[in-house]
Chain A
Amino acid sequence: MAEAASARQQAAGPSVSSAPLSTLKAFAGLLSSLLLTFIGLTAITFVIGRVMPADPVLAVVGDRAPQEVYDQVYQAMGLDRPLYDQYWRYLTQLVQGDLGTSIMTARPVMDDILRFFPATLELATIATLLGIFLGIPMGVLAAVHHGRWPDHFVRIFGLLGYSVPVFWLGMVGLLIFYANLGWVAGPGRLDVFYDDIVPSVTGVILIDAALEGEWEIFWNAVSHLILPAAILGTFALAYIARMTRSFMLDQLNQEYVLTARVKGMSERRVIWRHAFRNVQVQLITIIGLTYASLLEGSVLTETVFSWPGIGQYITRSLFNADMNAVLGGTIVVGVCFVGINLFSDLLYKLVDPRAR
């Protein structure tokens, strides 16, 4: 294979860069994209935090703060300095991980966020996995049986999942499966009974409990996790199935699929080894998008399920007029969002032979 690669290089001539160099270029391109987007993000949050509110200091300290605190924060924010100077200080603080202090908890916002983030990650990850392992086969099935009942079923299911307000579905789910049927546990990550028993190593209760061998707690966590994960998972499933179906339909119309059939291959092989191979690459982007949007959609679901994740953190901070916390959370989620999308872009470029 190395022989082929170097032969390819020789044959292709000096105008084609070698494989490692183009990967580096792609990576550098993505990095600069990330940087620019980060600056853009922070510019927006800066504008929201400093420029928009009538009194930015009040937005941070709240209207019940004593005068000394007000003055302190005024100084710290450098509000007497010109805007671009303020922005620069803001940026440098951000890069060092200083998101300000929360008036709610009086702790650095970054610490709070790190405490709450794993809960959201846990939910988003499981929901995405559900979406992948159920959604992809459903999408392929629908495309292959285009126009017949599996297709209609998947389309309708996808449409429903796509149209339903996730937070409402969560509520209805709680009503039916918790209040009426008692099949799953209620809001929160654990029964209050089990709170704080297991030391928080990763922040993910499932892992922490398993590490400690506390199986009762483990299963309790699972029963709390099922419903919100299923609800978010339905959304992920609907989206992934829909996009998979769409991509597969596209590919199944392509000439090379006809070629594969002309060769006499079984339909199964045509579908998976040819059409799906071309879809795989595109699915990377979709999965990235799904994960990112689940992170974002967690805001609403966490409110319904009293799930102590970053979504709930942001909304609670909102109601307490804790501006630093809100903006801090926004930036963290924003950066993750952007990061995931760019990462999946990079992965795409690495995997698709045409993009090299």
Chain B
Amino acid sequence: MSVPRAVVEKSKGLRAWLLQDVPDSITQARVQRFYLAWLTFRRNPIAMTGFLIIASLVVMAAFAPLLTATSGLEPQLEDRLQSASAEHWFGTDGLGRDIYDRIVWGSRITLYIVGLVGIIVVPVGLVVGTLAGYVGGAVDTVLMRITDIFLAFPRLILALALVAALGPGLENAVLAIALTTWSPYARIARAEALTIRNSEFIMAAKVQGASTGGILFRHVMPLCISSVIVRLTLDMAGIILTAAGLGFLGLGAQPPTPEWGAMISTGRQYLLDQWWIPTVPGIAIFVVSLGFNLLGDGLRDVLDPKSAE
């Protein structure tokens, strides 16, 4: 199949533009950086695998209604404890619910947890970190002490204690995870803010009369955001595992919600005879966690070429 000449030449032009040695504008430089990063990323089969896994997860969550036969929530006791078949791809659980359907719906919960934690820790970390790094002095010391205390605490145990006080539930579990996860982001943001705060454009903004808050919000934070997000990607696998652990202990989403960790917990009693019931959700957690780790590794290789070479 031949492609029209104009298209071929246009794409040749685009490629040349992307690989041009000395860019003509800031936008071109930025786009070039992205493209080069993408090329390096693409070279790395491990990173691409991770990317595909996560992309599949997102697709699965988005199209859940189309991909499943049932909601996975209604008990159907006649169909209990069936092994994998054409009708039930992963079999059914103790209440006769289709496990495949529950896994697919559970992907939404996984993304929900990850997203919610992210939405909490990124702003909190950014605000605390940039404030501490930019303002310095006593504010810095106090904020960093607080950060260190949360950093020092063992994540799961603290989450346990929090849930013990607040009661089980998905949002409480999310809160517990967020409270134990935000510290590193504050440290990263602070480190970046320290580097930036003596820059000339900051001084220019100050001379123009911008307030501290304004400077922080409009200048410092946007520059810190990218490293925080990279770190978040690297942490996501851990967040998922912690959430699954809490679910396993019965402290996260409550039945009949198809949270994967909770599914392992309720399925545990059937381990010996209907092994698929607790095993399959674990595989799902494993694969997603692996996907995020691969993605995170790939991102890190792209940003720090030495560790890839």
Q: Which of A's residues lie within 8 Å of B, judged by CB?
A: 36-37, 40-41, 43-45, 48-49, 52-53, 59, 146, 155, 159-160, 162-169, 171-172, 174-175, 179, 246, 249-250, 253, 292-293, 295-297, 299-300, 303, 314-315, 318-319, 321, 323, 326-327, 329-330, 333-334, 337-338, 341
Q: How many whole Å from B232's CB to the nearest CB in chain A? A: 17
If A300-B248, A315-B249 touch, whether A330 touches B286 (CB-CB below 8 Å) is no
Bound state CA distance, A293 and B306, in angstroms? Answer: 29
Q: How many whole Å from B302's CB to the nearest CB in chain A? A: 16
Q: How many whole Å from B45's CB to the nearest CB in chain A? A: 10
Q: How many whole Å from A179's CB to the nearest CB in chain B? A: 5
Contacts of B165 in A (CB 8 A): 48-49, 52-53, 59, 323
Question: Is B307's CB under 8 angstroms from A299's CB?
Answer: no
Contacts of B145 in A (CB 8 A): 36, 40
Question: Is A334's CB under 8 angstroms from B153's CB?
Answer: yes
Option from B148, B154, B248, B309 in Cβ contact (under 8 Å) with A333: B154
Bound state CA distance, A165 and B166, in angstroms? Answer: 25
Question: Is A41's CB under 8 angstroms from B149's CB?
Answer: yes
Bound state CA distance, A253 and B264, in angstroms? Answer: 44
Question: Is A44's CB under 8 angstroms from B154's CB?
Answer: no
Question: Is A246's CB under 8 angstroms from B248's CB?
Answer: no
What are the 6 tightest A-B residue pairs by CB atom distance, in nearest-first order? A40-B149, A168-B282, A296-B154, A163-B290, A52-B165, A163-B289
Bound state CA distance, A337 and B293, in angstroms? Answer: 25
Contacts of A165 in B (CB 8 A): 241, 244-245, 248, 261, 264, 282, 285-286, 289
Task: Check if B164 is an interface residue, CB within 8 A of chain A.
Answer: yes
Contacts of A315 in B (CB 8 A): 160, 249
Contacts of B150 in A (CB 8 A): 44
Bound state CA distance, A250 and B308, in angstroms? Answer: 10
Question: Is A159's CB under 8 angstroms from B297's CB?
Answer: yes
Contacts of B292 in A (CB 8 A): 163
Number of A-B contacts (CB under 8 A): 147
Question: Is A179's CB under 8 angstroms from B272's CB?
Answer: yes
Given contacts A44-B158, A296-B154, 6 further A-B contacts (CB under 8 A): A48-B161, A165-B248, A167-B245, A168-B278, A303-B249, A330-B158
Query: Which of A162, A163, A327, A337: most chain B Cβ within 10 A?
Result: A163
Question: Is A37's CB under 8 angstroms from B148's CB?
Answer: yes
Contacts of B149 in A (CB 8 A): 36-37, 40-41, 43-44
Q: How many whole Å from A103's CB to the nearest CB in chain B? A: 13
If A159-B294, A165-B286, A165-B289 touch, whether A171 touches B264 (CB-CB below 8 Å) is yes
Contacts of B166 in A (CB 8 A): 52
Q: How many whole Å from B233's CB to the nearest CB in chain A? A: 14
Main secondary structure of the interface of B (DSSP, over half): helix
Contacts of B163 in A (CB 8 A): 318
Contacts of B248 in A (CB 8 A): 165, 167, 300, 303
Question: Is B153's CB under 8 angstroms from A44's CB?
Answer: yes
Question: Using an 8 Å CB-CB cutoff, how does the interface string of B122-156 with A read, 1 for contact, 0 for none?
Answer: 00000000000000000000000110111011111
Contacts of B271 in A (CB 8 A): 171, 174-175, 179
Bound state CA distance, A247 and B289, in angstroms? Answer: 23
Question: Is A334's CB under 8 angstroms from B157's CB?
Answer: yes
Option from B272, B286, B289 in Cβ contact (under 8 Å) with A175: B272
Bound state CA distance, A37 and B275, in angstroms? Answer: 44
Question: Is A299's CB under 8 angstroms from B160's CB?
Answer: yes
Contacts of B162 in A (CB 8 A): 48, 52
Bound state CA distance, A109 and B85, in angstroms? Answer: 50
Taking CB atoms and an 8 Å cut-off, the chain B residues in 251-309 that contact chain A are 251, 261, 264, 268, 271-272, 275, 278-279, 282, 285-286, 289-290, 292-294, 297, 306-307, 309
Q: How many whole Å from B154's CB to the nearest CB in chain A? A: 4
Task: Check if B237 is an interface residue, CB within 8 A of chain A.
Answer: yes
Q: How many whole Å from B168's CB to the nearest CB in chain A? A: 9
Enumerate 27 A-B pairs (CB-CB under 8 Å) in ascending A order. Answer: A37-B152, A159-B46, A159-B297, A160-B290, A163-B237, A163-B289, A163-B292, A164-B289, A165-B285, A168-B244, A168-B278, A168-B286, A171-B268, A179-B271, A293-B154, A299-B157, A300-B245, A300-B248, A303-B249, A314-B157, A318-B163, A318-B249, A319-B250, A326-B160, A330-B160, A337-B154, A338-B152
Bound state CA distance, A300 and B166, in angstroms? Answer: 20
Q: How many whole Å from B146's CB to the nearest CB in chain A? A: 7
Considering the complex, give the chain B residue whose CB is closest to the CB of A49: B165
Contacts of A41 in B (CB 8 A): 149, 152-153
Q: How many whole Å from B210's CB to the nearest CB in chain A? A: 34
Q: How many whole Å from B252's CB to the nearest CB in chain A? A: 13
Contacts of A250 in B (CB 8 A): 306-307
Question: Is A249's CB under 8 angstroms from B307's CB?
Answer: yes
Q: How many whole Å from A21's CB to the nearest CB in chain B? A: 25
Contacts of B306 in A (CB 8 A): 249-250, 253
